A and B are shown apart, each in its own frame.
Chain A
Amino acid sequence: GQNIDQPTEMTATEGAIVQINCTYQTSGFNGLFWYQQHAGEAPTFLSYNVLDGLEEKGRFSSFLSRSKGYSYLLLKELQMKDSASYLCAYMDSNYQLIWGAGTKLIIKP
C-alpha cells in the first residue's frame, strides 16, 4: 500500500493562506516533489525539496523535514485559479516517484 499520506480535501477562502501537509515513510529518499493538477489535466511541477528547510517560489513555498518524513506546501494570496488537486511525491532509492493520492483544494470567494 501507499506509505505517503496527504489530506483528501481542503477548503480555503480567496486571498487567504493554506498549508497542505504530506507525510511519508521510506528507507531510500531522493527528494520530495509537489505537483498541481487541474481537473482533467496532467500534473504540472511546482517544487522540489531534497534538503531540510523552506523553498520559496512566488506565492508558493514548500518545506521539508527529512527526519520527520514531513513536507508541506504553502499557498499564499489564494486565487480562484488555485482550485486544483495538489500531489506530493517522494523519489525513492530507485529514482522512481511514489505519489500520494492528492489533496483537492477548493477555493471559495
Chain B
Amino acid sequence: DTGVSQDPRHKITKRGQNVTFRCDPISEHNRLYWYRQTLGQGPEFLTYFQNEAQLEKSRLLSDRFSAERPKGSFSTLEIQRTEQGDSAMYLCASSPGGDIDDQFFGPGTRLTVL
C-alpha cells in the first residue's frame, strides 16, 4: 500500500500523560501536514513540513505540542501533559507540491483523553 499511514489508529490515555503519533507519507511527497479535527468541523491546521524543515506552525499549537520530521520522511507528533480538550482526530496529509498540490490524507489517529 503506497498511501499515507498513521500509527496508532486509536489512543486512549489519562490526562497528564504524554502521547506520540507517527505518520508515514507517500514516499515521493516532500510536504507533510498535521491537522486536528473535531466532530462537525473541518480539519484545523497544526503544522507543516517541507522535507525535514518545519515551515509553519499554528499559533493555536501550544508548547505542549511538538512535531518532527528528522529525515524528511516519516513524522512524529508529540503531545505532552495531555488535557481532555486534546481529544480529537489527528490527521496527517502529504502532498507532492507542484501546481495542484492536492493533499492525501492518512486514516487519522483518534485520541481520547480521560
Contact = CB atoms under 8 A, between A and B. Distances in A.
B56 to A, nearest CB: 6
Interface residues of A, number: 21
Interface in A20-56: 31, 33, 41-45, 48
A101 B104 CA distance: 18
Contacts of B103: 45, 97
A44 B104 CA distance: 7
B105 interface: yes
Interface stretch (B12-20, B43-51, B67-75, B78-86): B43-51
Contacts of A101: 40-42
Interface string B92-107: 0000000011111111
A44 B56 contact: no
B25 interface: no
A2 B107 CA distance: 25
Contact of A42 (B41, B42, B101, B106): B106
A107 interface: no
Nearest to B102: A45
B35 to A, nearest CB: 8
Range of interface residues on B (Cβ < 8 Å): 10 to 19
Contacts of A99: 42-45
B91 interface: yes
Contacts of B101: 91, 95
B98 to A, nearest CB: 11
Interface of A: 8, 31, 33, 41-45, 48, 87, 89, 91, 94-102
25 contacts: A31-B100, A33-B102, A42-B91, A42-B105, A42-B107, A43-B43, A43-B91, A43-B105, A45-B102, A45-B103, A45-B104, A48-B100, A89-B42, A96-B45, A96-B48, A96-B56, A97-B43, A97-B45, A97-B103, A99-B42, A99-B43, A99-B44, A101-B40, A101-B42, A102-B41
Closest A-B pairs by Cβ, 4 of them: A99-B42, A42-B105, A45-B102, A101-B42
